[in-house]
């Protein structure tokens, strides 16, 4: 008999596992993920990429953003009320602390959603089928509903689970990249 786990309990379990990761493991797993992505044909062709500014216990995006921001247009989300708007990343000097203590770009808003080639999406947990579980506020589900780009979820090994419980409004990703 299979026991169904709810999202709240699964979030707690994953967050606890993340706290047990060493800084070295986080750095190594992040580098492994970015190495895979850099060799991905969708990434290679992409000109405009939605990323996110990582928080503690998330795949470290900052070095990757800095590395690629002069070769590809990087968009970052900004929390406005209960939605995410996208802004062009124009350097860390033009970022300010926004909602939830996250650094957010202050540049111009990006409204051409049809001209985004790839979206790299965070999550608390993923499964190999592309189901994603966020923090529970629905920001990315609402955003992904408006996008038509290829979507990749990225996560540490401790965030990859056998099955993510889903609700009808949950939006998954096309592919999940995790440390090999």
Question: Which residue bears the tokens 């629905």?
Answer: 138
Side-chain-side CA neighbours of 118 within 13 Å: the count stands at: 21
Domain with residue 74: its CATH number is 3.40.50.10420
Task: Provide the residue count of the chain.
Answer: 180
> Residue 78 pLDDT more than 90?
yes
Structural domain contains residue 45:
yes
pLDDT greater at residue 132 or residue 108: 132
What distance in Å separates the CA atoms of residue 13 and residue 35, rounded to the nearest whole number?
Answer: 28
Structural domain contains residue 1:
no
Quote the number of domains for the chain. Answer: 1
> Residue 45 pLDDT more than 90?
yes
Contact call for residues 74 and 49 (beta carbons, < 8 A): yes
Range of the domain at 22: 7-177
pTM of the model: 0.93
Structural domain contains residue 73:
yes
pLDDT, average across residues 70-89: 95
Structural domain contains residue 2:
no
First to last CA, the chain: 30
């Amino acid at each position: 008999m299979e026991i169904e786990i709810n999202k709240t309990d699964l979030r707690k379990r994953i967050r606890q596992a993340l706290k047990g990761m060493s800084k070295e493991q986080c750095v190594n797993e992040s580098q492994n993920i970015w190495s895979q992505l850099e060799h991905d044909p969708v990434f290679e062709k992409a000109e405009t990429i939605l990323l996110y500014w990582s928080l503690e216990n998330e795949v470290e995006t900052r070095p990757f953003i800095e590395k690629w921001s002069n070769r590809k247009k990087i968009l970052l989300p900004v929390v406005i009320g209960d939605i995410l708007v996208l802004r062009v990343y124009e350097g860390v000097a033009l970022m300010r602390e926004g909602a939830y203590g996250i650094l957010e770009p202050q540049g111009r808003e990006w409204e051409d959603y049809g001209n985004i080639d790839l979206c790299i999406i965070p999550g608390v947990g993923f499964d190999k089928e592309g189901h994603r579980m966020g923090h529970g506020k629905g920001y990315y589900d609402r955003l992904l509903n408006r996008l038509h780009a290829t979507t990749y979820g990225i996560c540490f090994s401790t965030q990859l689970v056998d099955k993510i419980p889903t609700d009808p409004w949950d939006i998954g990703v096309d592919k999940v990249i995790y440390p090999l």
